[in-house]
């Protein structure tokens, strides 16, 4: 059984690392041993799992199906080991994290890299991308999201408060005036960030009730940074995360409006799959981030 697990683990390690040489460096094993383990596994299964060339390594159809299953099994075993052995042990192993690109690049790099520096046995695999990642399917340990939970198969823990701003360049305010109510946005050009929940349907709170205003304008872009630049260029009003808009507002490049109508926004959350045993590395990361953002508040 131990030998079987070693072969399976070698197969997963090689693919995760992108090759035999990289896996050997990361896990402190010889390239020849890893190659032998993978070959032995293929012989045992009677199927080729990997296509190997001098430049590229890829999984066969059988390899992809096998990888998905055994990766989850190994993760569960690792999590169980971490729980039963020593919960106070230093975090170790590969930590796969997903986060939105713009927020990640501007706000998350410092704490994530500091966590990695403090825990040298952790290998950080950070994936910054603006899409809703399937944590289980893609083997992600934890996703950092600014959203409300909708997937009941996941668990979320609040990390930090967030906020947004509706704002426009001074030239736009001069041309159209500052809207007094959210309804006034229907008659002015607005910039739509198609990555944002609701897209062109912006939510506000009036007299304690949530209201939605459909906006339109000359720009639709799937990037909050794109929406920021468009607003700075005077192309319309934009609904922006405050981690992007605050600096422009302080410089006078943008003017905030409708401040009293903004709803409570979703939190920055750490989202992870339902598991009976949460791995020590994920628990340590979440605790670290909660402490980091308590000391370094962020508007997002």
Could you tell me the residue ranges of all domains in the chain? 1-76, 93-161+266-295, 164-256
Phi and psi (nearest 5°) for 48?
A: -80, 130
Same fold, 1-76 and 93-161+266-295: no
Does 149 have pLDDT greater than 70? no
Q: What's the whole-number mean pLDDT along residues 65-84? A: 78
Using CB atoms within 10 A of its CB, is residue 145 exposed (0-12), middle (13-18) or buried (19+)? buried
What pLDDT, on the 0 to 100 scale, is given for residue 86? 46
The CATH class of the 1-76 domain is mainly alpha
Higher pLDDT, 156 or 285: 285
Question: Per the confidence metrics, is the pTM higher than 0.75?
Answer: no
H or E stretch at 110: helix 109-118
Q: What is the pLDDT of residue 223?
A: 87
Instruction: Give tens-digit pLDDT for 243-285.
Output: 888 889 999 999 999 999 987 666 788 888 765 456 778 889 9
Superfamily the domain 93-161+266-295 falls into: Periplasmic binding protein-like II (3.40.190.10)
Query: What is the mean pLDDT of the segment spanning 123-140?
Result: 84
Give residues with Cβ within 8 angstroms of 26, minimum separation 6. Answer: 13, 17, 123
Q: Which fold has domain 164-256?
A: D-Maltodextrin-Binding Protein; domain 2 (3.40.190)
Contact 93, 281 (CB under 8 A): yes
Tell me how far apart the alpha carbons of residues 101 and 108 are, in angstroms, rounded to a whole number. Answer: 10
For the chain, the average pLDDT equals 85
CA distances 196 to 36, 164, 192, 244, 252, Å, are 48, 11, 8, 14, 25
Helix, strand, coil percentages (3-state) for the chain, rounded to 5, are: 45, 25, 30
* DSSP for residue 47: S
């Amino acid at each position: 059984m131990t030998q079987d697990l070693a072969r399976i683990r070698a197969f997963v390690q090689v693919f995760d690392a992108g090759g035999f040489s990289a896996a050997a460096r990361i896990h402190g094993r010889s390239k020849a041993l890893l190659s032998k383990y993978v070959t032995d596994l293929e012989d045992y299964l009677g199927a080729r799992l990997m296509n190997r060339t001098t430049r590229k390594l890829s999984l066969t159809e059988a390899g992809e199906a096998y990888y998905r299953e055994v990766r989850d099994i190994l993760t569960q075993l690792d999590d169980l080991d971490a729980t039963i052995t020593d919960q106070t042990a230093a975090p170790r192993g590969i930590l796969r994290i997903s986060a939105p690109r713009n927020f990640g690049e501007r706000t998350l790099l410092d704490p994530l890299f500091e966590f990695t520096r403090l825990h040298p046995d952790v290998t950080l695999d950070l994936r910054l991308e603006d899409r809703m990642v399937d944590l289980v399917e893609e083997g992600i340990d934890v996703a950092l999201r600014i959203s409300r939970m909708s997937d009941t198969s996941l668990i979320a823990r609040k990390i930090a408060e967030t906020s947004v701003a509706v704002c426009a360049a001074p030239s736009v305010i001069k041309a159209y005036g500052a809207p007094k109510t959210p309804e006034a946005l229907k008659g002015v050009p607005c910039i739509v960030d198609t990555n944002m929940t609701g897209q062109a349907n912006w939510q506000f709170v009036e007299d304690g009730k949530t209201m939605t205003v459909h906006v339109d304008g000359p720009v639709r872009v799937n990037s909050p940074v794109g929406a920021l630049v468009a607003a700075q260029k005077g192309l319309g009003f934009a609904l922006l995360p405050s981690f992007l808009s605050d600096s422009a507002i302080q410089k006078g490049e943008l003017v905030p409006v409708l401040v009293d109508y903004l709803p409570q926004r979703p939190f920055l959350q750490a989202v992870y799959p339902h598991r009976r045993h949460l791995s020590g590395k994920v628990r340590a990361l979440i605790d670290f981030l909660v402490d980091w953002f308590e000391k370094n508040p962020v508007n997002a």
